[in-house]
């Protein structure tokens, strides 16, 4: 199988998966919306019963009341879209979502009702926070990991491994709470809430971003360094490294020229997924820092029962993940020629 054919196969595959997932998401969210609409309709009907309905019952008699009530129910069912069959709604919703027509929200968020516009406001914020943090983490992690691999078994290597194991078991949001406690409450170095205010200057915003970025880097770089170290140690034991050493290639060149290039495919995959994952923000961490990005937006949408926004965001996250998969496949095929061979393409 050629590279292009392989790539086309992966893309078609991703699109099929996306179609099915969109359908599942629509089915799930429409179901939830239907439940809440039913409750809302019932409540409105009860209210009508207590006010207008009571007057009609007293003045026009019970028969007239039943008739008016029936039309009222009909009207309410139409208002809450309960007259359309469930599956029809699901299919409509799925198709509209695939056409990127997410609709509007009931309440304005960030000053607009348009779901696409809301996402466009929140997305850059998550990018600024998490993508910055991810890039810092990757650079730091790669650098430290390579260093640890070069001096495997040294004090530095051991300390890094212990640190990585420790931070692997820490929830990021709890670390965030800790950092707020220590750096914002105790030492007053950072603001307690990272919510943006309309008249914030650039310095203010950077100040508000600093603590979340610090938290992310602190929790994540150990794991990166450790994984890089393990991959590098494996690569450094390969024969071609020994051959390069025997040839007298400088150590610096062996590490960064030979070993890192051979270790690149898994690392690049990790980088792609980390960067794409950062676009979605982190729901709980953003809640802890009160940071107005994608993650917190999802939570707000859930609290306010904004089905359209929820579907839009979930669709966005799914597309991100799948494009990550395709991108990783692409890069993998590019960096590791063996992938092009039919047998391993199936692996």
Partner 1 sequence: MRWVDIKEGFKEFLDEFKREKTGIAGVVLLVILVLVALTAPQTTIPDLPTKWRNSQYWEENPKNVPPTWYNMFTSQKLMPHLVYTLNDPDVNVVTQDKDTIITVNYNVPENYYYGPQGIIINGFNVTLNSPIGVPTISVYLIRPDGDKVLLVKDKELSSDVTIAVGRDSEISKMIYMWLVYKTTGQNITPLDVPLQTILINDMIAPLFADLTGATGPDEVIENPKPLWGTYKLEIVIHQPRPVNEVNYDNIKITFLGRTYGTMGTDYLGRDLWAGLIWGSRVSITIGILVSILQTIIGLIYGVTSAYLGGNADEFMMRINEIFASIPSLPILILIGATAGHITLWFIVALLVIFGWMGIARISRSMALQIKEQTYIEAAKALGAGNGRIIFKHILPQLLPYAFAVIALSVPGAVIAEASLSFLGIGDPTAVTWGQILNAAQNQAATTKGYWWWVIPPGLGIAVVGLTFVLIGTALDKILNPRLRRL
Where on the chain is the footprint of partner 1 (CB under 8 A)?
13, 16-18, 20-21, 24-25, 28-29, 32, 35, 165-166, 168-171, 173-175, 177-178, 180-181, 184-186, 192-193, 230-231, 234, 280, 283-284, 287-288, 298-299, 302, 310, 313-314, 317-318, 321-322, 325, 347
Are the beta carbons of 215 and 175 closer than 8 angstroms?
yes
Region for residue 85 given its phi and psi (left: phi exceeds 0; alpha: psi -120 to 50; beta: otherwise): beta
Considering the complex, state which of residue 8 and residue 181 has its C-beta at the smaller distance from partner 1: 181
Considering the complex, state which of residue 39 and residue 55 has its C-beta at the smaller distance from partner 1: 39
Considering the complex, state which of residue 137 and residue 307 has its C-beta at the smaller distance from partner 1: 307
Compute, in degrees rounded to 10, the torsion defined by CA atoms 62, 66, 72, 75. Answer: -160
Are the beta carbons of 195 and 130 closer than 8 angstroms?
no
Cα 222 to Cα 110: distance, rounded to the nearest angstrom = 36
Provide, rounded to whole angstroms, the least separation between the CB of residue 277 and partner 1: 10
Provide, rounded to whole angstroms, the least separation between the CB of residue 35 and partner 1: 7
Provide, rounded to whole angstroms, the least separation between the CB of residue 157 and partner 1: 14
Provide, rounded to whole angstroms, the least separation between the CB of residue 43 and partner 1: 17
Considering the complex, state which of residue 152 and residue 249 has its C-beta at the smaller distance from partner 1: 152
- Angle (CA) 78 80 86, round 5°: 90
Six-digit token string for 55:
């007057």
Provide, rounded to whole angstroms, the least separation between the CB of residue 184 and partner 1: 7
Considering the complex, state which of residue 9 and residue 110 has its C-beta at the smaller distance from partner 1: 9
Cα 294 to Cα 287: distance, rounded to the nearest angstrom = 10
Provide, rounded to whole angstroms, the least separation between the CB of residue 223 and partner 1: 11
Considering the complex, state which of residue 65 and residue 298 has its C-beta at the smaller distance from partner 1: 298
- 3 state SS of 128: helix
Cα 193 to Cα 205: distance, rounded to the nearest angstrom = 11
H helix intervals, 49-131: 54-60, 62-79, 86-98, 115-126
Provide, rounded to whole angstroms, the least separation between the CB of residue 177 and partner 1: 5
Provide, rounded to whole angstroms, the least separation between the CB of residue 138 and partner 1: 20
Considering the complex, state which of residue 134 and residue 235 has its C-beta at the smaller distance from partner 1: 235
How far is residue 11 from each of residues 100, 193, 194, 282, 330, measured CA to CA in Å? 19, 42, 39, 27, 10
The 3-state DSSP composition of the chain as helix, strand, coil percent (nearest 5) reads: 80, 5, 15
Considering the complex, state which of residue 72 and residue 340 has its C-beta at the smaller distance from partner 1: 340
Provide, rounded to whole angstroms, the least separation between the CB of residue 47 and partner 1: 24
Cα 26 to Cα 22: distance, rounded to the nearest angstrom = 6
DSSP state at residue 114 = E
Q: Report phi then psi at 193, rounded to 5.
A: -120, 140
Considering the complex, state which of residue 17 and residue 135 has its C-beta at the smaller distance from partner 1: 17
Quick one: CA dihedral 207, 210, 212, 215, positive or negative? negative
């Amino acid at each position: 199988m050629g590279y292009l054919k392989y790539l086309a196969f992966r893309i078609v595959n991703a699109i099929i998966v996306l179609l099915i997932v969109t359908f599942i998401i629509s089915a799930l969210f429409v179901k939830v919306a239907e439940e809440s609409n039913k409750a809302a309709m019932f409540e409105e009907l009860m209210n009508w019963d207590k006010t207008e309905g009571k007057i009609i019952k007293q003045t026009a008699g019970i028969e007239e009341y039943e008739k008016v009530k029936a039309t009222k129910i009909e009207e309410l069912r139409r208002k809450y879209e309960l007259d359309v069959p469930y599956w029809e709604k699901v299919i409509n919703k799925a198709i509209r979502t695939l056409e990127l027509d997410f609709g509007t929200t009931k309440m304005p968020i960030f000053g607009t009702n348009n779901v696409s516009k809301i996402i466009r406001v929140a997305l850059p914020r998550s990018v600024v926070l998490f993508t910055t943090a991810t890039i810092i983490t990757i650079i730091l992690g790669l650098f430290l990991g390579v260093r640890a691999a070069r001096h495997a078994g040294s004090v530095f290597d051991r300390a890094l491994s212990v640190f990585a194991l420790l931070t692997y078991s820490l929830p990021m949001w709890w670390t965030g709470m800790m950092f707020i406690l220590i750096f914002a409450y105790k030492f007053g170095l950072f603001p307690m809430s990272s919510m943006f205010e309309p008249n914030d200057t650039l310095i203010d915003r950077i100040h508000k971003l600093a603590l979340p970025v610090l938290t992310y880097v602190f929790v994540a770089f150990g794991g990166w360094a450790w994984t890089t170290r393990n991959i590098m140690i494996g690569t450094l034991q390969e024969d071609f490294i020994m051959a390069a050493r025997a040839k007298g290639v400088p150590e610096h060149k062996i590490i960064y020229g030979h070993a890192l290039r051979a270790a690149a495919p898994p690392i690049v995959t990790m980088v792609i997924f980390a960067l794409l994952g950062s676009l979605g923000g982190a729901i709980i961490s953003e809640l802890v820092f009160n940071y107005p990005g994608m993650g917190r937006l999802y939570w707000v949408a859930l609290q306010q029962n904004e089905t359209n926004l929820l579907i839009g965001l979930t669709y966005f996250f799914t597309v991100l993940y799948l494009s990550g998969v395709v991108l990783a496949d692409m890069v993998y095929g590019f960096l590791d020629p063996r992938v092009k061979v039919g047998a391993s393409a199936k692996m």
